[in-house]
Each structure stands twice: as C-alpha cells, then as structure tokens.
Amino acid sequence: MKLFAWGDDLNVDIALIDRQHREYVRRTNAFLEASMNRQTRGPASANNTFRFLRKYIDEHFTTEEELMAETSYSEEGKHVAQHRHFQGEVDRFGDAVTSGELSTDSLLRLNYLLVDWFQRHIKQVDKRLSQHLTEKARASGNGKLRDFLKGIFD
C-alpha cells in the first residue's frame, strides 16, 4: 500500500485549489494509515477518518463546481461527471469501512482509487480548469468576476 505523496507536478497554481488538494492528501493518508493499522487501532479510527475524508471530498468538489459554474466553463459537464463517478466509487467502499470488514483486497483497490485516480484527475482535468480560470481572470473586464477570481489565486 502506498501513501499519497504530494509533488510539485500536482500544483495547479490556484492557491485555493492547491490548498484543498493538499488537505485531501493529508486526509487520505490519515485514512490509509488508520486502515493499515486497524488491527491495533481498531476499526473506529479508520471509520472516523474515512467519514472526514468523504465529507472533504464533497466540499472540495463543490468548490470546483461553483468555480466552473461562475465562469461558464465549457468542460463543466465532463468534469462534474468525473466527480460523481469518483464519489460513487468511494461510496461503494463505505459499508465495508464502516463495519470494519474492509478486506485487504478492497483496501488496495480503495487505495488505488484515492491516490492514483485523484493524481490523474489533478494532472489531466484540474489543470485544464486552472488554465480556464487563469484566462478568465486575465481577460475579465467584469470587476466582480475579476475580483472573485483574484481571490482564489492568492
């Protein structure tokens, strides 16, 4: 099992989203560590960290989706569909985590999803969103939109 290592290649150069991605990494690693040590810590630790991770996933995706809607992002539908797919896949493991009956095989599949899928999503999909937001911020003659976008870069 591998933990989620943050690298500069995961930066999207939007401070708000980069902070949220780093927090996702922190929470993912907390869950994975609790899961790997569930024999000594008990299933409650993994269950609690999974619940907090799951809630954070929703919060982060909501932030991105609000940014897409606010800026008329042309790839919004595809991006949101990926979010929903990921959320559904994570939810499939929820009962096993909650009951403390997450098998080693299921934990490895969940690990792959939480780490590898998310890394690919950042590198391929979130970076396109970042480019869109950067272009919108530069081109915006609308003072409200420009101020709104400026706030997410700082």
Domain ranges across the chain: 12-153
What CATH architecture is 12-153? Up-down Bundle (1.20)
Q: What is the pTM of this model?
A: 0.87
- pLDDT tens for 5-59 read 999 999 998 888 999 999 999 999 999 998 888 766 666 788 889 999 999 999 9
- pLDDT tens for 81-139 read 999 999 999 999 998 888 878 888 998 999 999 999 999 999 999 999 999 988 887 77
Asked whether the CA dihedral 109, 85, 55, 153 is positive or negative, the reply is: positive
Q: What is the Cα–Cα distance from 1 to 38, expressed in whole angstroms?
A: 14
Determine whether 117 is exposed, middle or buried from the number of CB atoms within 10 Å of its CB (0-12, 13-18, 19+). middle
